[in-house]
Amino acid sequence: MSDQSLNTAAESRLTPILVAANDRWLPAIILLVATVVAWEAAVRIFDISAFIVPAPTAIARSLIDQWPSLMQATLVTAGEILFGFIVSVAVGIAIALVIVRFDWLGRALYPLVVLFQNVPKVALAPIFILWFGYGLAPKIGLILVIAFFPVTLSMLAGMQSVDRSLLSLMNSVGASQSQILFRIRVPHSLPQLMAGTKIAATLSVIGAIVGEFAGAQDGLGYVIQFASTQLDTAQVFAALLLVSVLGIVFYYAAEILERVVVPWAPKFSRA
Amino acid sequence: MRQSAMRIDTIRAAETRPTTVRHDDALISAKGVSLVLSRQLILQNIDLSVPKGSFVSLIGPSGCGKSTLLKLMAGLLQPTEGSVSIAGLPPVEAARKRMIGLVFQEANLLPWKNAVDNASMLLSIADRSLSRAELRARGQEMLELVGLGDSAHKQPHELSGGMRQRVAIARALALDPAVLLMDEPFGALDAITRDSMGQSLLDIWQRTGKTIVLVTHSIDEAIHLSRHVHVLGIKPGRITESLDIDLPYPRDLSLTEEPEFVRLVVQLRTMLRESHQPGASS
Ligand SMILES: Nc1ncnc2c1ncn2[C@@H]1O[C@H](COP(=O)(O)OP(=O)(O)OP(=O)(O)O)[C@@H](O)[C@H]1O
Ligand SMILES: [Mg+2]
């Protein structure tokens, strides 16, 4: 009896979610399947050479045949992304805190940070290889210079948008600058910081691949480059597919992190 | 040159002040306070005395300097001339001694804290010796005082505008301040919520014996709640009229229908209309 009612309760809670998921994803899935089918058909009908555009089935075959080595490369790249992402977020937060906390240092640092944004950072990859060799370090360095900026910028914006009357309240009870920083400004900045973090997650994937392009002995970027010199376009596509999957995984991981860190953010509470 | 011209204005204004100010029983007193900000005379020769335990309202046209005057009392700004004192102390020192509670138009609650933690937030900074449990207990006590005892664990976004403002009042009261300075605390609320908030504030005032200075744009609210109303004029900001509201406490909303109340409304409205004329010195 109670089992029954529990079940129906669970079902009635689940049904709308499933329906919503259908509504949301179904069109995209239909379009994707149609595109893949059309792609396969076009390659077969027009007899396109496999090293120019491989058929989806050829990509799938390459994926299956090369699975162990592709997985190994995926793990390497994922490790770089994760490590680089964490370093970028940490450094991005540290720079933002320094700029806000130490006024004169901030005034010195901020224009330089902005100026540095105009350097085409992808072009730094060969220099990093020169300095740090072919290992993990140049990739982390490249991810860092690409990904820290949105973190710093979003956190700064968040910390500086605290309402003035709230600051008046804090001042009226004699709060110190660090109390205002850590009890008000930093938590207040978290929703914006998380938005910057999601951008950093996406940029970290780009940074890792570019770093591997510039010089690496492993990783998906390396696989893409090596396979293209072998005219194994199917493997290039297979590796690209895995890069995209990594991108999606990291983006959603950042989104889950956001829900954990700032469940009180306006975007969640105004459902 | 500018400075001396201003002094003369100040003196002239002092001569034309309608009522003499007695500072004897004052908890807050402003003596000859003038304030210049960005080379503009914002407040001119303010003489104001707020007796201990009284309820005083400031009313006047937008931009006349009510909020600025309140900030001077809170020690958030320093006067260019004259002095402000709270129980004989400079406001900054009074604030350090937790004598001043502030409430603004926006509740400014921290969205990552629930109601009870918001209520004790300022206290936790003012008195670092208190334990978490003590802070909670104090926050809860204050929420009960403002009628939100059962909403302690709600997050700010789960509260209505009026409830949020009640938490803001609880947060100020948690300091157990001698003075409550309120800047249009009900300005963002609908008329009915506003009425009941005013009535609650009156109850809290009578129960706690705080001295309250309220900035408001509502003539009804000023008369309903306060014992003294000061009208500020514009350009420069100065006190143009002061009105004693000799209606007996406890007061409730039925008061607003009485002839004496209506007469005071008319009188205050006339004063307010005149305060909209810029002063001679502008
Ligand atoms: N930091 C400042 N620098 C220069 N002028 C200022 C500053 N702060 C306020 N003012 C000016 O002081 C005057 C009074 O402002 P204030 O906010 O005290 O008015 P108010 O009476 O509270 O108005 P309202 O009813 O609209 O809230 C305004 O003309 C405003 O422009
Ligand atoms: Mg104001």
- Backbone torsions φ then ψ of B183, nearest 5 degrees: -105, 100
Asked if B215 and B89 sit in the same domain, the reply is: yes
- For chain A, the average pLDDT equals 89
The answer to whether B112 contacts A174, with C-beta atoms less than 8 Å apart, is: no
- Which pLDDT score is estimated for B104? 96
* Residue B194 to residues B106, B220, B247, Cα–Cα distance (Å): 14, 11, 20
Using a CB-CB cut-off of 8 Å, the residues of chain A touching B108 are 163, 165-166, 169
Do A16 and A69 fall within a single domain? Answer: no
Instruction: Using the predicted structure, report yes or no on whether residue A268 has a pLDDT greater than 60.
Output: yes
Interface of chain B toward chain A, CB-CB under 8 angstroms: 71, 74-76, 95-96, 98, 100, 102, 104-106, 108, 110-112, 122, 125-126, 155, 157, 175
Report pLDDT for A118.
Answer: 87
Query: Is residue A105 assigned to a domain?
Result: yes
Q: Is the peptide bond before B236 cis (omega within 30 degrees of 0)?
A: yes
Q: Are residues B167 and B230 in the same domain?
A: no
Q: The domain spanning residue A168 has which CATH number?
A: 1.10.3720.10
B124 is in which domain, residue-wise? 107-176
Do A23 and A79 belong together in one domain?
no
Q: Could you give phi then psi for residue B117, rounded to 5 degrees?
A: -70, -30
Domain count, chain B: 2
Q: Taking the model in full, what pTM does it have?
A: 0.84
Task: Give yes or no: residues A113 and A188 share one domain.
Answer: yes
Q: Quote the number of domains for chain A.
A: 2
Residue B219 and residue B156 share a domain:
no
Mapped to the 3 state alphabet, what secondary structure does chain A carry?
Answer: CHHHHHHHHHHHHHHHHHHHHHHHHHHHHHHHHHHHHHHHHHHHHCCCCCCCCCCHHHHHHHHHHCHHHHHHHHHHHHHHHHHHHHHHHHHHHHHHHHHHHCHHHHHHHHHHHHHHCCCCHHHHHHHHHHHHCCCHHHHHHHHHHHHHHHHHHHHHHHHHCCCHHHHHHHHHCCCCHHHHHHHHHHHHHHHHHHHHHHHHHHHHHHHHHHHHHHCCCCCHHHHHHHHHHCCCHHHHHHHHHHHHHHHHHHHHHHHHHHHHHCCCCHHHHCC
> Domain check: are A9 and A62 in the same one?
no
CB atoms within 10 A of CB A259: 12
Looking at chain A, how many residues does it have? 271
A13-27, A53-67, B4-18, B169-183: which has the minimum mean pLDDT?
B4-18
Per the structure, the complete domain to which residue A180 belongs is given by 58-270
**Nearest ligand to the C-alpha atom of residue B59:** 1
Q: How far is A152 from chain B (nearest CA, A)?
A: 22
Residues of A in contact with B175 (CB under 8 A): 173
Q: What is the pLDDT averaged over residues B65-71?
A: 95
Give the distance (Å) from ligand 1 centre to CA of residue B49: 22
Model confidence at A17: pLDDT above 90:
no
Confidence label for B281 from pLDDT (cuts 50, 70 and 90): very low
What ipTM was estimated for this complex? 0.84
In a domain, A53, yes or no: no
C-beta of B67 in contact with ligand 1 (< 6 A): yes
pLDDT tens-digit map of B52-67: 999 999 999 999 999 9
Report pLDDT for B6.
Answer: 47
* b/e B48-78 (16+ beta carbons within 10 angstroms → b): bbbbebbbbbbbbbeebbbbbbbbbbbbbbe
Contacts of B111 in chain A (CB under 8 A): 264-266, 269
State which of B153, B176, B199 marks the end of a domain.
Answer: B176
Is the domain of B132 the same as that of B25?
Answer: no
Provide the residue type at B96 as one letter.
R
Confidence class for position B282, pLDDT limits 50, 70, 90: very low
Q: Does residue B143 sit in the same domain as residue B160?
A: yes
A264 touches chain B (CB under 8 A): yes
A/B interface, count of CB pairs below 8 Å: 57
Residues B93 and B224 reside in one and the same domain:
yes
From CA A17, how far away is CA B138, in angstroms rounded? 42
Considering the domain architecture, whether residues B83 and B186 belong to the same structural domain is answered as yes
Same domain, B80 and B185: yes
Q: Are residues B22 and B160 in the same domain?
A: no
Whether residue A16 sits in one domain with residue A104: no
Q: Residue B171 domain-assigned? A: yes
Q: Is residue A232 part of a domain?
A: yes
Residue A176 pLDDT exceeds 70: yes
A173 CB near a chain B CB, below 8 Å?
yes
* CATH label of the domain that carries residue B22: 3.40.50.300
Q: How far is B128 from chain A (nearest CA, A)?
A: 11
**Do A5 and A111 sit in the same domain of this protein?**
no
B115 inside domain: yes
Residue A52 lies in a domain: no
Average pLDDT over residues B120-129: 94
Nearest CA residue ID for atom 31, ligand 1? B63
Break chain B down into helix, strand, coil percent, rounded to 5: 45, 25, 35
User: Do A9 and A94 belong to one domain?
Assistant: no
Establish whether residue B64 lines the binding site of ligand 1, counting it when its CB lies within 6 angstroms of any ligand atom.
Answer: yes
pLDDT tens-digit map of A230-259: 989 999 999 999 999 999 999 999 999 999
A78 & A1 share domain: no
Residue B245 DSSP SS3: coil
* Domain end among B121, B152, B176: B176
Quick one: B36 and B159 in the same domain? no
Asked if A83 and A9 sit in the same domain, the reply is no
Q: Are A35 and A63 in the same domain?
A: no
Q: Is residue A95 part of a domain?
A: yes
Last residue of a domain, one of B151, B176, B201: B176
* pLDDT score at B69: 96
Please check whether residues B85 and B139 belong to one and the same domain. Answer: no
Considering the domain boundaries, does residue B195 fall inside one? no
A249 CA from centroid of ligand 1 (Å): 51
> Which mutation among B40, B215, B216, B230 tests ligand 1's pocket best, with the greatest number of atoms within 8 A of CB?
B40
> In the predicted model, is pLDDT for residue B168 greater than 50?
yes
Comparing A71 with A121, the larger pLDDT belongs to A71
Residue A66 lies in a domain: yes
* A262: closest CA of chain B, how far (Å): 8
Instruction: At B30, give phi and psi (nearest 5°).
Output: -115, 125
CA distance B232 to B70: 12
Distance from CA of B270 to the nearest CA of A (A): 32
**pLDDT value at residue B7:** 46
Q: Is residue B232 part of a domain?
A: yes
| Same domain for A225 and A131 | yes
> Residue B135's CB: how many other CB atoms inside 10 A?
19
| DSSP structure class, residue B149 | G
User: Are both A8 and A87 inside the same structural domain?
Assistant: no
Q: Which of A27, A47, A67 is the last residue of a domain?
A: A47
A36 pLDDT above the threshold of 70: yes
Q: Which atom of ligand 1 is nearest to the CA of B184?
A: 27
| Per-residue pLDDT, B18 | 45
Residue of A nearest to B177 (CA): A173
Same-domain pairing of B158 and B227: no
Instruction: Tell me the C-alpha to C-alpha distance, in Å, between residue A46 and each of A31, A42, A120, B101, B114.
Output: 22, 6, 40, 80, 65
Q: Is the pLDDT of residue B2 over 70?
A: no
Q: Measure B65 CA to ligand 2 centroid, in angstroms.
A: 7
